[in-house]
Structure 1
Amino acid sequence: MQANKATELPSIAKAYNGADRNAFLFGWNPQAELWNGRFAMIGFTAYLLWDLAGYSVIRDLLHLVK
């Protein structure tokens, strides 16, 4: 029986740990680092949009320090 080429993982994905690079796996693994980066980008963008709307945690904290 021959494997379907469409369902096989690319060779670079097998170099990680044999699992899909986009799989949401719990624990210390390469997939967690990818998801961590994605969530960090979403959080950074959300904060920038929040700051542009006039709500700034950093600006408010600086006013408290003065």
Structure 2
Amino acid sequence: MEKQENKFGFTSFAENWNGRLAMLGFIITIATELMTGKGILAQLGLM
């Protein structure tokens, strides 16, 4: 039986995707702040 790499848990595959999505979220947050002139807390009505 061939050894299969797990797709769940702390694997290289999962960590790569986690990092990519975190970078994408950070860029979207910065772009939104630049377009609206408000921070994320102000947009959510918390400040």
TM-score (norm 2): 0.64
- C-alpha RMSD of the superposition: 2.2
Runs of 4+ aligned residues of structure 1 deviating over 3 Å after TM superposition are: none
The 1-side partners of 2:22 and 2:16 are apart by 10
Which amino acid in structure 2 is aligned with residue 51 of structure 1?
E
Measured against aligned partners, the alpha-carbon deviations of 1:24-49 in whole angstroms (never above 9, x if no partner) come to x7311111001100000000000000
Q: Percent identity?
A: 31
Which amino acid in structure 1 is aligned with residue 13 of structure 2?
Q
TM-score (norm 1): 0.48
2:13 corresponds to 1:31: yes
Gaps of 5+ in 2: none
